[in-house]
């Protein structure tokens, strides 16, 4: 029994005139209503529903009769028949399973108990299974216990030697603890080495390494501290003798030596820096070259010391209380110029500053010192240095006068004419001037 309904033609587009007319559509609607009513009446009159009235896969398992516990549906009648509930013995009989066929089969409880004693299959077991093993390697997996495995490997069980934290070593075939090396908490977070008492040179740390690549910047000893928080007196290094620090490096890199310390050549001569009593000493080849005291006074301790500002600008000490521009006297001395700070180039219309040269001052009725300008006139032929002679002296006091200028007699009066100027000189006590034309004028009699 089936239900067939008519479709109403609606055309391909609105008002295109291709669909059913209103009358034809109404006729189909009336016919469909009559078919539905007839179908429902026919269903109401049925005492049973035939297979034709049931759609394929329409009946669920919940709609069939209940099945008793531990039963399966089947047919053991010997012919075609409706399904019935089968017992376990009927199923075994139908499958021709004898007792011997299921003697080794475990129940689900027994299977769970058995699997609990084995490692579940995981990625590690899968990786091991993929390895290419040897007969010896596979035999290790079949050992009954750790003792049997040690026997196969030829290993003798032994307990660690020494005390907790000591590094182990081979002590005649047994473990022994190195008494001088202790690891804190079994890690290298802290390493304590006790060298013991020795009567010959036995360095506590004696490490060697060969560097063999010109393109690599090597580091022989390195300590990298992460200073998240620490006291200001924390040290990166502390070398001690009898418990007293001899040499230490602070967390900021400051180096402190107990006796002030020398830093430099250590081949039998002292070269480097040494600090003592607030004074810093500079040594070069066992000689004290300079000192810098707590008052910021820099002293060159050698009488032949030079202070070089560059290769040709040098301050030296040729004699006691003698300040010389240039190095020590030489066969070819370098000309020196004394200059004073000037206005820099690029500054418009700015006057230079005055230069003042001050002589030594006296006190009370004591006159101040003079400023004496000396030169060394030519002497007789030879290699001896010529003698200095005063050319002009700025005198604080002279022959009852104060603030006067003294001009000494010329060693020899000028005999040729100057160019671009004139010559002022004293001859036999008279002040004279020779101009560029050769005229000699006496400015003041003797």
Distance CA 49, CA 40 (A): 13
Q: How many angstroms from the chain centroid is the CA of residue 393? A: 67
Q: Assess contact for 334 and 324: CB atoms under 8 A.
A: no
Distance CA 424, CA 418 (A): 11
Tokens encoding 199: 């009567």
Mapped onto helix, strand or coil, the DSSP state of residue 239 is strand
User: How far is CA 27 from each of CA 17, 22, 24, 105, 255, rounded to the nearest angstrom?
Assistant: 18, 9, 5, 72, 114
Distance CA 102, CA 210 (A): 74
- Closest by CA to 273, choosing from 290, 258, 253, is 290
User: How far is CA 214 from each of CA 209, 219, 221, rounded to the nearest angstrom?
Assistant: 15, 13, 19
- Furthest CA-CA distance within the chain: 174
Q: How many angstroms from the chain centroid is the CA of residue 397? A: 72
Contacts of residue 290, defined as CB under 8 A and 6 or more positions apart, other chains included, come to 281, 282, 298, 299, 300, 301, 305
Mapped onto helix, strand or coil, the DSSP state of residue 161 is coil
Q: Where are the alpha helices (DSSP H) in 154-208?
A: none
Place of tokens 């007196």: 233
The string over 384-403, giving b where at least 16 C-beta atoms fall within 10 Å of a residue's C-beta and e elsewhere, is eeeeeeebbbbbbeeeeeee
Distance CA 210, CA 220 (A): 10
- Say what the pLDDT of residue 429 is: 94
Tens digit of each residue's pLDDT (9 = 90 or more) over 204-219 = 888 899 999 999 999 9
Distance CA 248, CA 256 (A): 5
Tens digit of each residue's pLDDT (9 = 90 or more) over 389-428 = 999 999 999 999 999 999 999 989 999 999 999 999 999 9
Taking residue 282's Cβ as centre, other Cβ atoms within 10 Å add up to: 19
Per-residue pLDDT of the chain (446 residues; tens, 9 = 90+): 678 888 888 888 888 888 888 898 899 899 989 888 888 887 777 666 677 777 787 778 788 888 888 889 889 888 898 888 888 888 888 888 776 676 667 777 878 887 777 777 788 888 877 888 788 887 887 888 888 888 888 777 777 888 887 888 888 878 888 877 777 665 666 777 777 888 988 888 888 999 999 999 999 999 999 999 999 999 999 999 888 888 888 898 888 777 666 555 444 556 677 777 778 777 776 666 788 888 888 887 777 777 778 888 888 888 888 888 888 889 999 999 999 999 999 999 999 999 999 999 999 999 999 999 999 999 899 999 999 999 999 999 999 999 999 999 998 999 999 999 999 999 999 999 999 999 999 999 99
Whole-number mean pLDDT of the chain? 84
């Amino acid at each position: 029994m089936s239900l067939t309904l008519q479709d109403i033609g609606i055309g391909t587009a609105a008002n295109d005139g291709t669909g059913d007319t209103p009358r034809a559509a109404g006729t189909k609607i009336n016919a469909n209503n009559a078919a539905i009513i007839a179908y429902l009446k026919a269903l109401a009159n049925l005492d049973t529903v035939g297979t034709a009235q049931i759609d394929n896969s329409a009946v669920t398992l919940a709609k069939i009769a209940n099945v008793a516990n531990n039963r399966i549906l089947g047919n053991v009648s010997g012919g075609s028949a409706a399904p019935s509930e089968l017992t376990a013995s009927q199923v075994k009989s139908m499958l021709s399973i004898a007792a011997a066929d299921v003697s080794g089969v475990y129940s689900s409880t027994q299977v769970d108990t058995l699997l609990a004693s084995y490692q579940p299959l995981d990625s590690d077991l899968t990786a091991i299974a993929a390895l290419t093993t040897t007969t010896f390697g596979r035999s290790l997996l079949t050992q009954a216990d750790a003792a049997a495995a040690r026997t196969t490997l030829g290993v003798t069980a032994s307990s660690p030697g020494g005390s907790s934290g000591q590094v182990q070593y081979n002590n005649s075939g047994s473990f022994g603890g190195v008494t001088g090396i202790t690891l804190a908490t079994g890690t290298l977070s802290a390493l304590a080495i006790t060298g013991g008492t020795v009567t010959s040179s036995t360095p506590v740390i004696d490490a060697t390494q060969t560097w063999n690549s010109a393109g690599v910047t090597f580091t022989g000893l390195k300590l990298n501290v992460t200073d998240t928080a620490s006291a200001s007196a924390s040290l990166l290094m502390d070398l001690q003798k009898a418990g007293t620090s001899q040499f230490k490096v602070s967390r900021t890199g400051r180096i402190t030596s107990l006796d002030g310390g020398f830093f430099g050549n250590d081949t039998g001569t002292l070269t480097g820096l040494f600090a003592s009593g607030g004074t810093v000493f500079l040594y070069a080849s066992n000689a004290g070259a300079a000192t810098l005291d707590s008052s910021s006074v820099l002293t060159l301790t050698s009488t032949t010391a030079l202070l070089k500002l560059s290769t040709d600008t040098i301050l030296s000490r040729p004699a006691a209380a003698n300040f010389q521009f240039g190095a020590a006297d030489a066969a070819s001395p370098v000309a020196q110029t004394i200059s004073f700070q000037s206005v820099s180039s690029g500054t418009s219309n700015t006057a230079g500053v005055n230069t003042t040269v001050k002589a030594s001052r006296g006190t009370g009725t004591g006159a101040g010192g003079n400023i004496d300008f000396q030169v060394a006139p030519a002497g007789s032929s030879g290699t001896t240095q010529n003698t200095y002679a005063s050319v002009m002296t700025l005198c604080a006091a002279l022959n009852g006068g104060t603030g006067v200028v003294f001009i000494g007699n010329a060693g020899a009066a000028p005999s040729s004419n100057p160019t671009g100027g004139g010559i002022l000189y004293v001859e036999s006590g008279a002040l004279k001037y020779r101009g560029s034309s050769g005229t000699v004028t006496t400015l003041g009699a003797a």
